[in-house]
Amino acid sequence: MSAIINVSLRVDKLPKEKFVSGKDGAVYYNFTVGVNDDVNQFGQNVSLTDSQTQEEREAKKAKVYLGNGTVVWTDGNIKTAPKKEKASAAEVASDLPF
């Protein structure tokens, strides 16, 4: 583990239309956590925003800020996760049970 981050989330700001039902029946919400090099006047360096689609980013749609927080511990060694390749329609279809 290379970081621990505490975040406060404004639940009332979550757009209800962006809740997603998972295959397991659970309800999910996608958001983005940003870690800044500098802290603001409140001693915070983490922001939590509503996750945007590529189209929303390209259209320069304003981010919806949901909360903020603070990095409380780090070993200084945060690594990026490898990107997952998107499956083709044929690969998805081959996984179907019918």
How confident is the prediction along the chain (98 residues), in pLDDT tens digits per residue? 688 889 888 888 888 888 999 889 999 999 999 999 999 999 999 999 999 989 999 999 999 999 999 999 999 888 888 887 765 555 544 554 54
pTM of the predicted model, to two decimals? 0.70
- What are the residue boundaries of the structural domains of the chain, listed by start? 3-75
Instruction: Check residue 16 and give its pLDDT.
Output: 87
User: Using one digit for the tens of pLDDT, what is the confidence trace for 19-32?
Assistant: 999 889 999 999 99
Nearest to 64 by CA among 38, 41, 32: 32
Instruction: Check residue 78 and give its pLDDT.
Output: 81
Separation CA 76–CA 1 (nearest Å): 10
Instruction: Check residue 87 and give its pLDDT.
Output: 56
Instruction: Check residue 3 and give its pLDDT.
Output: 85
Task: List, in sequence order, every residue forming a beta bridge with 47; answer none if it has no partner.
Answer: 34, 68
DSSP 11: G
